[in-house]
Amino acid sequence: MSRHSAITDVETYMQQLGRAARQASVALRRLPTGRKNAALLAMARQVEASRQTLLAANARDLERGRAGGLDAALLDRLALDDRRLDTMIEGLEQVAALPDPVGEIDGLRARPSGIQVGQMRVPLGVIGIIYESRPNVTLEAASLCLKSGNACILRGGSEASESNAAIADCIAAGLAEAGLPEAAVQVVATTDRAAVGRLIAMPEFVDVIIPRGGKSLIERVSREARVPVIKHLDGVCHVYVDATADLDKALAIAVNAKTQRYGTCNTMETLLIDAPVAAELLPRLAEAYAEHGVELRGCERTRAVLTEVTPAEEADWHAEYLAPVLAIRVVEGIDEAIAHIETYGSHHTDAIVSESYSLARRFLAEVDSSSVMVNASTRFADGFEYGLGAEIGISTDKLHARGPVGLEGLTTRKYVVLGDGQIRG
């Protein structure tokens, strides 16, 4: 009975958040850039002025987390310190400095009827964001949604609830200082899991859901959502070294793509090597990877050169290791490489290393991934490296936004028609 009544309350509560967000979105849509920037900078000042409060709230979350047996990696993601607060403040200032995509009109062209037709970039409306432990996501998500003219409803992890509530206070104070509606950014105040179920099933109030976190969260949200989801699933990224490659570049890219960071989605997980250069390149690679402590798992032809490498099994070609482990396969030319990527890849980021104009052109056209690269490390697949200025995540969807999603991905385009009294004949 009490369980049932709790769910009823969450439902009412989420409906209230949804209705308020929808109303706020109408006001945000009309807001000039300067007002949005003023709110972002006011939030930055609030965070600066609230350092002690934020760190104290975070300390309570950390203590609860330690008592509850959270592992070290989770505790690290949860933790705030002065350096992380600095980064959060800088993040707000950077988003304030970005160009505002809203209102931009593209391709305004005259038509035979005499009307002019173009497309105007406008906010999506209300964005729901569901995320896990890292409390800085609260501020990051709020700033990107606000700058792109969207209202947002943020639902963080229960382990960060005190930190998120303290950050929510800074956001609310910043909004109030700039005279913006308080429902422009709402942080869900209950840790009841039913709140997520409601948030993803209110198409009347929420236009899109962005889940940020582990695969199980994203799969659950995608499965149950009644509104569109911009999602990020696996990053099984490949580098293919073609026989015409500059092998020094190939070595540098292969090492960087694997070892610069192991836990990121744009890290290479499988290296494909064109047969004619395998004998020359593999020993150099093995030496470089050994220095980084990367474990290699190879196909038969790889093991013919590097005899001590573990045999790769079928599961290795599918694996997103997120660890110092690399699968290596020797292939016969670009067709086999592209077929391997098509079969085993996750359509995230794939690169070719080649000096051949024709093969580079084919790889760019034929590999169906959100980022396709020639002679560059897969680690560049990132909103900042691409010049988006900020990133709410990397989309592995095909529709709407594909690859790193910045402010533009949080907007849509409507048609505008300028006439002079035209009627249709």
Secondary structure element (H or E) that encloses residue 343, with its range: helix 333-344
Q: Are 111 and 376 in contact (CB under 8 A)?
A: no
Distance, CA of 231 to CA of 212 (rounded, Å): 8
CA dist 103 → 29, 99, 152, 221, 288 (Å): 10, 11, 19, 31, 50
C-beta of 179: minimal distance to a second copy in Å?
18
b/e sequence 242-256, b meaning 16+ C-beta within 10 Å: bbbbeeeebbebbbb
Question: Count residues contacting a second copy (CB under 8 A)?
Answer: 69
274 forms beta bridges with: 331
Question: What radius of gyration do the chain's Cα atoms show?
Answer: 24
Secondary structure element (H or E) that encloses residue 74, with its range: helix 72-78
Footprint on residues 381-410 left by a second copy (CB under 8 A) = 381, 385-387, 397-400, 402-404
C-beta of 11: minimal distance to a second copy in Å?
20
Footprint on residues 158-217 left by a second copy (CB under 8 A) = 207-208
The tokens describing 109, both together, are 């062209």
> Closer to a second copy at the Cβ: 24 or 257?
257
The window from 43-51, 255-263, 270-278, 328-336 that contacts a second copy (CB under 8 A) reads 255-263
> Closer to a second copy at the Cβ: 157 or 409?
409
The window from 23-31, 81-89, 155-163, 183-191 that contacts a second copy (CB under 8 A) reads 23-31
| DSSP per residue, 134-160 | -THHHHHHHHHHHHTT-EEEEE--GGG
C-beta of 10: minimal distance to a second copy in Å?
23
Binder to a second copy among 115, 176, 189, 304 (CB under 8 A)? 115
Distance, CA of 305 to CA of 326 (rounded, Å): 16
The tokens describing 171, both together, are 């956001």
Question: Does residue number 413 form part of the binding site for a second copy (CB under 8 A)?
Answer: yes
C-beta of 379: minimal distance to a second copy in Å?
4
C-beta of 326: minimal distance to a second copy in Å?
16
Question: Does residue number 364 form part of the binding site for a second copy (CB under 8 A)?
Answer: yes
> Closer to a second copy at the Cβ: 255 or 326?
255
By CB under 8 A, name the binding residues for a second copy.
26, 29-30, 103, 109, 111, 113, 115, 117, 120, 122, 124-125, 207-208, 223, 226, 228, 230, 246, 248-249, 252-253, 255-257, 260, 342, 351, 364-366, 368-377, 379-381, 385-387, 397-400, 402-404, 412-424
